[in-house]
Amino acid sequence: MVAALTAIGVVGLAAPSYADRTVTVQGTSFPDPASVNLSLVGCADLYQRGDEQLVPRIGVGPGEAPSGTRSLGWDLAGGNAVGALFAVDSMLRTGTASMAVNSAGRATGVAYAGYQEPADAGTSLLWLGRSELVSPGGAWQTIDATTRLYTWTKYDMATRNPVAPGPGAPTTVPDFAAAHGGDGPGVYTIGFGCDGTPFSMDQLQVGAPGSVTTYDVEGLQTAVTISASGSNADKQVTLVGRLHTGTGDPVTNATMVLERRLPGSSAWRPVVVADVDHGIASATVQRDERAFYRWRFVARPLAEGSTSEEWLVDLMPPVQTDPPSPTGSPDPTQHPSDPPPSSPSPSESSPPGSTSESPTETPAEHPTESLAESASASASVSASAGPTDAPDESASPSESNSHGTR
């Protein structure tokens, strides 16, 4: 599920207006990647990047995450910096372009500011400023790219080659813009990993004063559905659970728990733990008593937990048998009648005899699904670095216990 790790370019220089809001990022899937995304840049020069496989990790903490409960961890080889990319439509109105970072120890990084002066509008020319970063480690630190001093060089972004040097002394973005014609669109990046020290990132923020958007890095949102196979006459029912993620990406090495409760009880008891194969888990249960079942996916560092709706498994219907055939009365024996009396009296008629059949009981139709709603909603992100206080998730078959445990 790793989102595109984008180096700065001419694409996405204009960003939409922001309003005060908080956006939850599922793993590395940023909802508006043209405006805010992940960046991979060279530490000494923007485009001088080393060739390495990037393996992000989602985990809880370390400590108390700045936003939510999780953060995104990295462990780079050194020479590259990975972090936040902000594309803005106004470098001067953007008062915040920041990222919170927590490293295992002292860590070095780099920030870049890309500014297009008004005279270069519509071209591929862009001023790039570079600023070195240092984090002391051991605690969360917020680094704001808008307040940094930058050393500037003009680039042709189409060729990625420098075309003009900047002033000798480092300057801020507002001072540099004032000396080059005023405001313009641009980009900011903040990244760590230059010295290979593992670190975690969270709470990306960008916007004008009073109109800042916060991006909270969290796990994948999930949802579980339940269905059954088999007929009412079967002695067993196979219950199928399907695990979905908010990004459509699978959760690696996932399991789900089939739980059961009896009517009139609120207690759910585990029945079986089943592996999830291509998003599907299944288990077969006996129809020996009436019970409700549900599938539950337990929360992991990579993904939020969720529970399916309830499914009623009823008893087998009673076996229908044919009723016994009614027994007929024997024909009466005919006897000669005696002479009639002189004064005949009315004869008593016996009540009509009839044999009624008891109706055969037809099995009632039983509901098979309750009205309970789903209780809630892991790319799969594989990684090797990040928070240290709680278990982490990666796309690799094995899971480490924390971002800090490699």
Residues 232, 138 share a domain: no
Q: Hey, which residues does 202 pair with through a beta bridge?
A: 100
In a domain, 353, yes or no: no
- Burial letters 364-399, b for 16+ CB under 10 A, else e: eeeeeeeeeeeeebbbbbbbbbbbbebbbbbbeeee
pLDDT tens for the chain, 406 residues: list them. Answer: 343 344 444 333 334 444 589 999 999 999 999 999 999 999 999 989 999 999 999 999 999 999 999 999 999 999 999 999 999 999 999 999 999 999 989 999 999 999 999 999 999 999 999 999 999 999 999 999 999 999 999 999 999 999 999 988 999 999 999 999 999 999 999 999 999 999 999 999 999 998 999 999 999 999 999 999 876 678 899 999 999 999 998 898 999 999 999 999 999 999 999 999 999 999 999 998 999 999 999 999 999 999 999 999 998 766 555 665 555 544 444 443 444 344 333 333 333 344 333 333 333 332 222 222 222 222 332 333 333 333 344 433 233 334 433 2
- Is 173 part of any domain? yes
Locate all alpha helices (DSSP H) within 57-155, ordered by sequence.
Answer: none
Domain boundary among 218, 237, 270: 218
Provide the number of structural domains found in the chain.
2
Same domain? For 300 and 262 the reply is yes
Measured CA to CA, the distance from residue 372 to residue 308 in angstroms comes to 9
- Do 168 and 68 belong together in one domain? yes
Statement to judge: residues 173 and 258 lie in one domain: no
Domain check: are 280 and 142 in the same one?
A: no
Nearest to 184, CA basis, from 174, 192, 194: 174
The answer to whether 176 touches 129, Cβ cutoff 8 Å, is yes
- Asked whether residue 37 is domain-assigned, the answer is yes
Residue 56 lies in a domain: yes
Based on the fold, state whether residues 234 and 102 are members of the same structural domain: no
* d(C-alpha 112, C-alpha 236), whole Å: 63
Model confidence over 283-321: pLDDT tens digits?
999 998 999 999 999 999 999 999 999 999 998 766 555
State which residues form the domain around 136: 21-218
Residue 385: predicted pLDDT: 33
Please tell me whether residues 114 and 133 are part of one structural domain: yes
The pLDDT of residue 199 = 98
Q: Is the pTM of this model over 0.85?
A: no
Flag whether 284 is in a domain: yes
For residues 403 and 60, give the distance between their C-alpha atoms in angstroms, rounded to a whole number: 8
Shared-domain flag, residues 53 and 78: yes
If asked whether residues 207 and 273 sit together in one domain, one would say no
Let me know whether 140 and 126 are in one domain.
yes
Same domain, 308 and 374: yes
Amino acid type, 155: Y
In this structure, are 230 and 137 located in the same domain? no
Residue 322 maps to a domain: no
